Structure 1
Amino acid sequence: MSGTTWAAIDLHHHVVPREYAKALSKLGVTEGLGVQLPKWEASKALDVMDAHGIARSVVSISAPGVYFPAKDPTSAVAKQLSRAMNEACAALVRDHPGRFGVFATLPVPDVDAALEELRYAFDELH
């Protein structure tokens, strides 16, 4: 297709919002999958995206997620952290229109809480 400019879409872009790293630190969690949690910044992510021809990234939080059964048996932290991450990622989308999309963070395996958070993500955060 001569004359067409293609731009990539990254469908697997992990974010580590400051709020996420701070909340995990309070639980004594400082790494995910054996790697220290990085300091993630939207401006640096956009620089990398631009350098590699990535027009848009669909983000989700990084490992280790929000569910820590040994430290959070009632899933209260998972629920609170899911909501906070969904709000932080929605702000990222608002702050950088057209550059980011988001996969909602859900407090699984609490199915009722996950469905409630999914409704919130769609109906309130759009």
Structure 2
Amino acid sequence: MSMGRIDVHQHLLPGGYVEWLRSEGIGQAGGRELPAWSADGAIALMDDNSISTGVLSLSTPGTHLGDDARALDKAREVNDFGAELAKDRPDRFGYFATIPLPYVDGAVQEAVRALEELGADGVVLLANNRGTYLGDPAFEPLMAELDRRSAVVFVHPAELPAPAVPGLPPFAADFLLDTTRAAANLVLHNVPRRYPNLKIILSHAGGFLPYAAHRIAVTFIGQGRDSGEVFEDLSSFYFDTALSGSPTALPSLLAFARPGHVLFGSDWPFAPDLAVKYFTDGLDAYESGDTDLHQAIDSANALALFPRLA
């Protein structure tokens, strides 16, 4: 296969950020140990999986650990790091700016700086921010600002605001529910219709959303909503294939998502090299013989969102 994939779900872990997390007693994210990361390691992974460019983002827990000012400072540090990386290797890296929600004023400030001054390719938002889900009216100023800039918004799950099931790490199932909750709450509060310029990407094939979309849409009838309209809004999101290139997940995703709304994702380095290869091989096997679908998911759909990567 020729080079050319655009990976919209790839993470970065700057050394200073990891040291800070460890100083705060955080050595895991989603139940996984914080992995080693380097730009050279990312490029090696991309070369092994025919990925031309990785659009990098910070994963959970983000930068807000309870202190607004510290969260904004750390977000600025991470975004400056990402901007320099993309500047040095624009052929291999893009990045989503980190936003310090639930500190709304700081989030708006840093979103504007990152998009206007640093040239970020979009922003990454956690599905829930210290228990408050995207779509909540508290986040309206940020959503309005992002809509004015026609921003790409990458939604990544965080740990649920609830106890984990013993023996079941959050990344295995809770992450999928967290994304589904955020998507449903965004539609519940009419965010896709009120802010139509936003391009919102949901991680991991949208969690449970493709499978449960009809059930969610029918539920909203009891709240005075038209189920067809709700279903249309739920399918208006974009979806990445990270950890989802399987013969059970892909049919549901592709039956649900709008044409042009499925993007390649790896989830490296939280997904180790073997896992990336496993799900990428699964995606290749599913796409086998369908050249148009292959090209669309690998790069064409992403280029519509990130034309600079052409």
Q: Are residue 51 (structure 1) and residue 51 (structure 2) matched? A: no
TM superposition outliers: structure 1 runs of 4+ over 3 Å: none
Supply the distance in 1 between the matched residues of 2:101 and 2:9 (Cα, whole angstroms). Answer: 19
Where does residue 64 of structure 1 map in the other structure? 61
Give deviations 1:33-91, integer Å, cap 9, x for gaps: 1211112000011011011110111110122211112xx3xx12211110000001111
Q: Are residue 121 (structure 1) and residue 81 (structure 2) matched? A: no
Q: How far does residue 124 in structure 1 lie from its aligned partner after superposition?
A: 1.8
Structure 2 unaligned residues grouped into runs of 5+? 120-310
Supply the distance in 1 between the matched residues of 2:8 and 2:104 (Cα, whole angstroms). Answer: 25
Q: Are residue 94 (structure 1) and residue 111 (structure 2) matched? A: no
Q: Secondary structure at the match of 2:54?
A: strand
The higher relative CO (CA closer than 8 Å, separation ≥ 6) is in 1
- Choose between structure 1 and 2: higher helix proportion: 2
The amino acid across from 2:46 in the alignment is: M
The amino acid across from 1:39 in the alignment is: A
The amino acid across from 1:22 in the alignment is: E
1:7–1:54: 8 Å Cα contact kept in structure 2?
A: yes
Q: Are residue 81 (structure 1) and residue 78 (structure 2) matched? A: no
The amino acid across from 2:99 in the alignment is: L
The amino acid across from 2:107 in the alignment is: A
1:18–1:39: 8 Å Cα contact kept in structure 2?
A: no
Q: Secondary structure at the match of 2:63?
A: coil
Q: Secondary structure at the match of 1:104?
A: strand
Supply the distance in 2 between the matched residues of 1:63 and 1:114 (Cα, whole angstroms). Answer: 16
Could you tell me which of 5, 17, 23 is aligned with 2:14? 17
Q: How far does residue 13 in structure 1 lie from its aligned partner after superposition?
A: 0.3
Supply the distance in 1 between the matched residues of 2:44 and 2:65 (Cα, whole angstroms). Answer: 33
- How high is the TM-score relative to the length of structure 2? 0.37
Q: Secondary structure at the match of 1:124?
A: helix
Structure 1 unaligned residues grouped into runs of 5+? none
Supply the distance in 1 between the matched residues of 2:3 and 2:13 (Cα, whole angstroms). Answer: 28
Q: Structure 1 pair 6/45, CA: closer, same or farther in 2 (3 Å)? A: closer
Supply the distance in 2 between the matched residues of 1:62 and 1:17 (Cα, whole angstroms). Answer: 12
- How high is the TM-score relative to the length of structure 1? 0.87
Supply the distance in 2 between the matched residues of 1:60 and 1:84 (Cα, whole angstroms). Answer: 13
